[in-house]
Amino acid sequence: MKLKAILIEDEANSREILRNYLKKYCANVELLGEAASIKEGLELIEKNKPDLVFLDVEMPFGNAFDLLDQVPDRTFETVFVTAYDHYAKDALNHHAAYYLTKPINIDELIMAVEYVEEIKAKEDNLQEKVLNTNSKNIKGKLTLPQQDGFQILNVEDILYCKADDNYTEIFLENKKILVSKTLKYFEDALVDFPFARIHKSYLVNVNEVVKYKKGKGGSVVVSNGKELLVSASKKKEFLSFFD
Protein backbone atom coordinates (compact mmCIF):
# COMPACT_ATOMS: atom_id res chain seq x y z
CA MET A 1 0.00 0.00 0.00
CA LYS A 2 1.01 3.62 -0.49
CA LEU A 3 1.40 5.61 2.72
CA LYS A 4 0.34 9.24 2.54
CA ALA A 5 2.81 11.17 4.68
CA ILE A 6 3.71 14.67 5.78
CA LEU A 7 6.90 15.96 7.33
CA ILE A 8 6.91 18.51 10.16
CA GLU A 9 10.41 19.81 10.92
CA ASP A 10 11.64 23.36 11.47
CA GLU A 11 15.15 22.79 10.05
CA ALA A 12 15.29 22.99 6.26
CA ASN A 13 18.42 20.83 6.06
CA SER A 14 16.81 18.07 8.13
CA ARG A 15 13.70 18.17 5.97
CA GLU A 16 15.83 17.81 2.85
CA ILE A 17 17.74 14.82 4.23
CA LEU A 18 14.59 12.94 5.27
CA ARG A 19 12.82 13.85 2.02
CA ASN A 20 15.70 12.41 0.00
CA TYR A 21 15.91 9.27 2.14
CA LEU A 22 12.20 8.62 1.72
CA LYS A 23 12.40 9.11 -2.02
CA LYS A 24 15.38 6.80 -2.38
CA TYR A 25 14.65 4.05 0.15
CA CYS A 26 10.90 4.16 0.86
CA ALA A 27 9.08 4.05 -2.45
CA ASN A 28 5.83 3.16 -0.69
CA VAL A 29 5.73 6.60 1.00
CA GLU A 30 4.05 9.47 -0.83
CA LEU A 31 5.17 12.74 0.76
CA LEU A 32 2.22 15.12 0.45
CA GLY A 33 3.75 18.16 2.10
CA GLU A 34 6.17 19.68 4.57
CA ALA A 35 5.77 22.13 7.43
CA ALA A 36 8.23 24.12 9.53
CA SER A 37 5.98 24.92 12.50
CA ILE A 38 3.16 23.54 14.62
CA LYS A 39 0.63 25.87 12.98
CA GLU A 40 1.65 24.84 9.46
CA GLY A 41 1.73 21.20 10.52
CA LEU A 42 -1.81 21.29 11.89
CA GLU A 43 -3.04 22.87 8.67
CA LEU A 44 -1.35 20.14 6.60
CA ILE A 45 -2.84 17.41 8.76
CA GLU A 46 -6.32 18.86 8.45
CA LYS A 47 -5.99 19.28 4.70
CA ASN A 48 -4.36 15.97 3.76
CA LYS A 49 -5.61 13.43 6.33
CA PRO A 50 -2.26 11.58 6.25
CA ASP A 51 -1.54 7.99 7.19
CA LEU A 52 1.85 8.91 8.63
CA VAL A 53 3.42 12.02 10.14
CA PHE A 54 7.18 12.40 10.57
CA LEU A 55 7.46 14.80 13.45
CA ASP A 56 10.41 16.63 14.99
CA VAL A 57 10.06 17.11 18.75
CA GLU A 58 11.51 20.57 19.28
CA MET A 59 10.12 23.41 17.19
CA PRO A 60 9.58 27.14 17.61
CA PHE A 61 6.61 28.12 19.78
CA GLY A 62 6.01 24.65 21.18
CA ASN A 63 6.91 21.03 20.56
CA ALA A 64 5.56 17.88 18.96
CA PHE A 65 3.49 16.96 21.99
CA ASP A 66 1.71 20.33 21.87
CA LEU A 67 0.78 19.56 18.27
CA LEU A 68 -0.50 16.07 19.04
CA ASP A 69 -2.58 17.34 21.95
CA GLN A 70 -4.46 19.48 19.43
CA VAL A 71 -5.40 16.40 17.38
CA PRO A 72 -7.12 14.21 19.98
CA ASP A 73 -8.93 11.99 17.47
CA ARG A 74 -6.05 11.42 15.10
CA THR A 75 -6.03 8.42 12.81
CA PHE A 76 -2.46 8.79 11.54
CA GLU A 77 0.62 7.06 12.89
CA THR A 78 3.48 9.17 14.22
CA VAL A 79 7.20 8.65 13.75
CA PHE A 80 9.24 11.00 15.91
CA VAL A 81 12.51 12.25 14.45
CA THR A 82 14.75 14.08 16.90
CA ALA A 83 18.35 14.68 17.88
CA TYR A 84 17.49 13.92 21.51
CA ASP A 85 16.80 10.51 23.00
CA HIS A 86 15.31 11.70 26.31
CA TYR A 87 11.90 12.22 24.72
CA ALA A 88 11.35 8.50 24.17
CA LYS A 89 9.06 8.06 27.19
CA ASP A 90 6.90 11.04 26.20
CA ALA A 91 6.76 9.71 22.66
CA LEU A 92 5.53 6.35 23.96
CA ASN A 93 2.90 8.07 26.10
CA HIS A 94 1.70 9.88 22.98
CA HIS A 95 1.37 6.56 21.15
CA ALA A 96 4.21 6.99 18.70
CA ALA A 97 4.64 4.14 16.24
CA TYR A 98 8.41 4.68 16.06
CA TYR A 99 11.17 6.88 17.47
CA LEU A 100 14.14 7.83 15.27
CA THR A 101 17.17 9.77 16.45
CA LYS A 102 19.29 12.01 14.26
CA PRO A 103 21.41 11.41 12.29
CA ILE A 104 18.84 9.10 10.77
CA ASN A 105 19.86 5.48 10.28
CA ILE A 106 18.50 4.34 6.92
CA ASP A 107 17.77 0.80 8.11
CA GLU A 108 15.84 2.18 11.09
CA LEU A 109 13.88 4.48 8.80
CA ILE A 110 12.93 1.57 6.56
CA MET A 111 11.87 -0.47 9.59
CA ALA A 112 9.73 2.40 10.87
CA VAL A 113 7.95 2.76 7.55
CA GLU A 114 7.40 -1.00 7.21
CA TYR A 115 5.98 -1.13 10.75
CA VAL A 116 3.50 1.64 10.02
CA GLU A 117 2.63 0.12 6.65
CA GLU A 118 1.72 -3.18 8.28
CA ILE A 119 -0.44 -1.50 10.91
CA LYS A 120 -2.27 0.66 8.38
CA ALA A 121 -2.90 -2.31 6.09
CA LYS A 122 -4.51 -4.23 8.93
CA GLU A 123 -6.58 -1.21 9.98
CA ASP A 124 -7.78 -0.63 6.44
CA ASN A 125 -8.90 -4.25 6.22
CA LEU A 126 -10.96 -3.83 9.36
CA GLN A 127 -12.36 -0.35 8.53
CA GLU A 128 -14.53 -0.04 11.60
CA LYS A 129 -16.40 -3.24 10.78
CA VAL A 130 -17.71 -5.44 13.53
CA LEU A 131 -14.98 -7.75 14.67
CA ASN A 132 -17.09 -10.27 16.54
CA THR A 133 -16.08 -13.65 15.17
CA ASN A 134 -19.31 -15.21 16.46
CA SER A 135 -17.19 -18.08 17.65
CA LYS A 136 -18.57 -19.14 21.03
CA ASN A 137 -17.28 -22.68 20.93
CA ILE A 138 -14.19 -22.14 23.09
CA LYS A 139 -13.56 -25.19 25.25
CA GLY A 140 -11.92 -24.65 28.59
CA LYS A 141 -12.23 -23.53 32.15
CA LEU A 142 -10.15 -21.26 34.36
CA THR A 143 -9.58 -21.85 38.05
CA LEU A 144 -9.46 -18.72 40.19
CA PRO A 145 -7.73 -18.98 43.59
CA GLN A 146 -9.69 -17.36 46.42
CA GLN A 147 -9.25 -17.08 50.19
CA ASP A 148 -11.87 -19.71 50.93
CA GLY A 149 -11.05 -22.06 48.08
CA PHE A 150 -11.34 -21.50 44.35
CA GLN A 151 -13.86 -20.60 41.67
CA ILE A 152 -14.12 -22.12 38.21
CA LEU A 153 -15.05 -19.98 35.21
CA ASN A 154 -15.80 -20.89 31.65
CA VAL A 155 -13.11 -19.11 29.64
CA GLU A 156 -15.68 -18.03 27.03
CA ASP A 157 -17.59 -16.06 29.70
CA ILE A 158 -14.66 -13.68 30.31
CA LEU A 159 -15.00 -10.38 28.47
CA TYR A 160 -11.69 -8.87 29.55
CA CYS A 161 -9.23 -8.65 32.42
CA LYS A 162 -7.91 -5.43 33.92
CA ALA A 163 -4.70 -5.00 35.91
CA ASP A 164 -4.96 -3.53 39.41
CA ASP A 165 -1.40 -3.55 40.78
CA ASN A 166 -0.82 -7.16 41.94
CA TYR A 167 -4.51 -7.95 41.51
CA THR A 168 -6.61 -8.54 38.41
CA GLU A 169 -10.24 -7.62 37.84
CA ILE A 170 -12.01 -10.18 35.66
CA PHE A 171 -15.05 -8.77 33.90
CA LEU A 172 -17.97 -11.00 33.00
CA GLU A 173 -21.21 -9.88 31.40
CA ASN A 174 -22.93 -8.85 34.63
CA LYS A 175 -20.20 -8.81 37.27
CA LYS A 176 -16.50 -8.58 37.98
CA ILE A 177 -14.24 -10.72 40.12
CA LEU A 178 -11.09 -9.49 41.90
CA VAL A 179 -8.29 -12.06 42.04
CA SER A 180 -4.93 -11.77 43.82
CA LYS A 181 -2.93 -12.60 40.70
CA THR A 182 -1.17 -10.30 38.24
CA LEU A 183 -2.43 -9.73 34.73
CA LYS A 184 0.68 -11.53 33.44
CA TYR A 185 -0.50 -14.63 35.30
CA PHE A 186 -3.76 -14.64 33.33
CA GLU A 187 -1.98 -13.79 30.09
CA ASP A 188 0.05 -16.98 30.54
CA ALA A 189 -2.95 -19.01 31.75
CA LEU A 190 -5.02 -18.05 28.71
CA VAL A 191 -2.26 -18.37 26.11
CA ASP A 192 -4.07 -21.23 24.34
CA PHE A 193 -7.24 -19.17 23.96
CA PRO A 194 -7.99 -16.09 21.82
CA PHE A 195 -7.02 -13.49 24.40
CA ALA A 196 -4.93 -10.48 23.37
CA ARG A 197 -2.84 -8.23 25.58
CA ILE A 198 -3.87 -4.87 24.10
CA HIS A 199 -2.42 -2.61 26.80
CA LYS A 200 -0.36 -2.85 29.95
CA SER A 201 -3.68 -2.79 31.82
CA TYR A 202 -5.93 -4.95 29.60
CA LEU A 203 -6.20 -8.52 28.39
CA VAL A 204 -9.24 -8.91 26.14
CA ASN A 205 -11.22 -11.87 24.87
CA VAL A 206 -10.97 -11.36 21.10
CA ASN A 207 -14.31 -13.12 20.58
CA GLU A 208 -15.98 -10.38 22.64
CA VAL A 209 -14.58 -7.51 20.58
CA VAL A 210 -17.39 -5.96 18.53
CA LYS A 211 -15.70 -2.84 17.22
CA TYR A 212 -12.27 -1.38 16.56
CA LYS A 213 -11.67 2.37 16.50
CA LYS A 214 -8.70 4.06 14.93
CA GLY A 215 -7.03 6.64 17.14
CA LYS A 216 -3.81 7.47 18.93
CA GLY A 217 -3.15 3.85 19.67
CA GLY A 218 -6.61 2.71 18.77
CA SER A 219 -9.32 1.28 20.98
CA VAL A 220 -11.73 -1.63 21.04
CA VAL A 221 -15.32 -1.92 22.18
CA VAL A 222 -16.30 -5.19 23.83
CA SER A 223 -19.75 -6.77 23.89
CA ASN A 224 -20.84 -5.01 27.11
CA GLY A 225 -20.16 -1.61 25.51
CA LYS A 226 -16.95 -0.91 27.39
CA GLU A 227 -14.25 0.86 25.34
CA LEU A 228 -10.65 -0.15 26.07
CA LEU A 229 -7.47 1.52 24.87
CA VAL A 230 -5.02 -0.28 22.64
CA SER A 231 -1.42 0.83 23.18
CA ALA A 232 0.76 1.52 20.15
CA SER A 233 3.19 -1.23 21.10
CA LYS A 234 0.37 -3.83 21.26
CA LYS A 235 -1.60 -2.75 18.19
CA LYS A 236 0.22 -4.93 15.68
CA GLU A 237 -0.14 -8.06 17.82
CA PHE A 238 -3.84 -7.41 18.41
CA LEU A 239 -4.64 -6.77 14.76
CA SER A 240 -2.91 -10.01 13.79
CA PHE A 241 -5.88 -11.91 15.25
CA PHE A 242 -7.94 -10.66 12.31
CA ASP A 243 -5.61 -11.48 9.42
The CB density around residue 123, as the number of other CB atoms within 10 Å, is: 19
Q: Is residue 133 part of a domain?
A: no
Q: Are residues 48 and 71 in the same domain?
A: yes
Q: Is residue 92 part of a domain?
A: yes
Q: Which helix (H) or strand (E) holds 167?
A: strand 167-171
Q: Are residues 120 and 159 in the same domain?
A: no
Q: Are residues 90 and 159 in the same domain?
A: no
Q: Is residue 135 part of a domain?
A: no
CATH of the domain at 98: 3.40.50.2300
Task: Chunk the chain into consecutive blocks of 10 residues (it has 243) and report each block's average pLDDT, rounded to whole numbers.
Answer: 91 94 95 92 91 86 80 84 68 69 92 90 60 43 69 90 92 91 90 92 95 83 94 88 80
Return the pLDDT at 128: 41
CATH of the domain at 196: 2.40.50.1020
Last residue of a domain, one of 70, 99, 126: 126
Q: Are residues 148 and 116 in the same domain?
A: no
Q: Are residues 102 and 176 in the same domain?
A: no
Q: Is residue 196 part of a domain?
A: yes
Return the pLDDT at 105: 94
**Per-residue pLDDT tens digits for 1-12:** 789 999 999 899
Q: Which domain holds residue 164?
A: 141-242
Q: Are residues 150 and 102 in the same domain?
A: no
Return the pLDDT at 71: 83
Q: Are residues 103 and 165 in the same domain?
A: no
Return the pLDDT at 25: 96
Q: How far is C-alpha 153 from the geometric centre of its chain's CA atoms?
A: 30
Q: Fill in the DSSP letter of residue 105.
A: P
**Per-residue pLDDT tens digits for 55-87:** 988 777 777 788 888 887 788 899 988 876 665
**Per-residue pLDDT tens digits for 79-105:** 988 876 665 555 555 567 788 888 999
Q: Are residues 7 and 118 in the same domain?
A: yes
Where b means 16+ CB within 10 Å and e means fewer, 165-181 reads eeebebbeeeeeeebee
Whats the size of the chain, residue-wise? 243
Q: Are residues 11 and 118 in the same domain?
A: yes
Last residue of a domain, one of 67, 94, 126: 126
Measured distance CA(157)–CA(155) in Å, rounded: 5
Q: Is residue 132 part of a domain?
A: no
Q: Are residues 79 and 187 in the same domain?
A: no
Q: Are residues 113 and 149 in the same domain?
A: no
Return the pLDDT at 136: 35
